């Protein structure tokens, strides 16, 4: 295994350049194999889990879900606050921020971004809860694509671009996750469900996040500060795929539902509409 890890690291560094020495020795970062192995196990569970649960009774998981969503809400809030403070105290430039302009702030940012990377492991539990509760309709291509790619991409980001420009996206995303996981946590409490009116706005918030991240990445291309252009172009391309998939999800989930609820009824020879109340 060590020989395989060494060959893989040599290949990656010959392709992407040397890793940032400031994160050498950090848990899970020295070798790609743990991240890849967890991803493959995740995909196997996604494939076999629904089959295993097919003839079995669904689990409630209510108590665990409350704790899980509360934990991710607090973790996301903590990361968001720390990143905002770091951006402010380090006078990070919105247009383009290099990796070596504020050493003390950069060190704090790297620690937060490591936790952000670690949170992508934790978020695999979203899928496992869907399987245990037999909510297989929620295990969509978008869901699997988003979870697997985010974990693997962030292994590369934390190794090669562990601060600077990489800070803005996680800052926005952590705020979105505060809203999202607080909603999921509250939705597990039946008494709260009538008051949870903002579900569709979470997707809108995610789309706004993607657009702002693309805008900020384009600024770094137009006003460069020494960042690898290949990474910036990759980031734009990847986020465009998320915009396409999330937009399709929004249309399929909310817009088409609104159209289905809008029924035409004939009255006295005239067509009138009636909106179905939820």
Classify residue 17: in a domain, yes or no: no
Residue 100 bears catalytic tag: no
What is the per-residue pLDDT across 158-188, written as a single tens digit (0 to 9) for each?
999 999 999 999 999 999 999 999 999 999 8
Residue 30 lies in a domain: yes
pLDDT classification of 257: cutoffs 50, 70, 90: low
pLDDT in tens, 57-69: 999 999 999 999 9
Whether residue 10 is contained in a domain is answered as: no
**Residue bearing the bigger pLDDT, 193 or 181:** 181
Residue 29 lies in a domain: yes
89-144 tens-digit pLDDT: 888 998 999 999 888 999 999 999 999 999 999 999 999 999 999 999 999 999 99
Provide the number of structural domains found in the chain.
Answer: 1
Q: What is the four-CA torsion angle of 135, 136, 141, 146, rounded to 10 degrees?
A: 40
Is 44 domain-assigned? Answer: yes
The dihedrals phi and psi of 265, each to the nearest 5 degrees, come to -120, 130
Q: Is residue 6 part of a domain?
A: no
Note down the domain range covering 206: 23-275
pLDDT tens, position by position, 31-75: 999 999 999 999 999 999 999 999 999 999 999 999 999 999 999
Confirm whether 115 is domain-assigned: yes
For residue 79, being part of any structural domain is answered with yes
Which member of 146, 177, 270, 273 is catalytic?
146
For the chain, the 3-state helix, strand and coil shares in percent, each to the nearest 5, are 75, 5, 20
């Amino acid at each position: 295994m060590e020989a395989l890890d060494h060959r893989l690291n040599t290949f990656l560094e010959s392709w992407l350049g040397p890793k940032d020495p400031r994160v050498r020795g950090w848990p899970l970062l020295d070798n790609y194999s743990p991240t890849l192995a967890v991803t493959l196990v995740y995909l196997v569970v996604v494939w076999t889990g629904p089959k295993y649960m097919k003839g079995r009774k669904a689990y409630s998981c209510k108590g665990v879900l409350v704790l899980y969503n509360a934990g991710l809400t607090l973790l996301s809030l903590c990361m968001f606050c720390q990143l905002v403070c770091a951006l402010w105290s380090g006078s990070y430039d919105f247009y383009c921020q290099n990796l070596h302009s504020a050493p003390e702030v950069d060190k704090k940012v790297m620690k937060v971004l490591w936790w952000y990377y670690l949170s992508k492991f934790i978020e695999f539990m979203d899928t496992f809860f869907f399987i245990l509760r037999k909510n297989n309709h929620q295990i969509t291509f978008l869901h699997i694509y988003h979870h697997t790619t985010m974990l693997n991409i962030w292994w590369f980001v934390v190794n090669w671009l562990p601060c600077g420009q990489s800070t803005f996206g996680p800052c926005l995303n952590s705020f979105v996750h505060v809203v999202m996981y607080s909603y999921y946590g509250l939705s597990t409490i039946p008494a709260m469900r009538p008051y949870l009116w903002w579900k569709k706005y979470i997707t809108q918030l995610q789309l706004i996040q993607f657009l702002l991240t693309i805008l900020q990445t384009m600024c770094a291309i137009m006003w460069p500060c020494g960042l690898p252009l290949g990474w910036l172009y990759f980031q734009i391309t990847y986020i465009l795929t998320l915009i396409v998939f999330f937009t399709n999800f929004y249309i399929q989930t909310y817009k088409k539902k609104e159209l289905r609820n809008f029924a035409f009824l004939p009255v006295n020879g005239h067509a009138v509409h009636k909106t179905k109340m939820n």
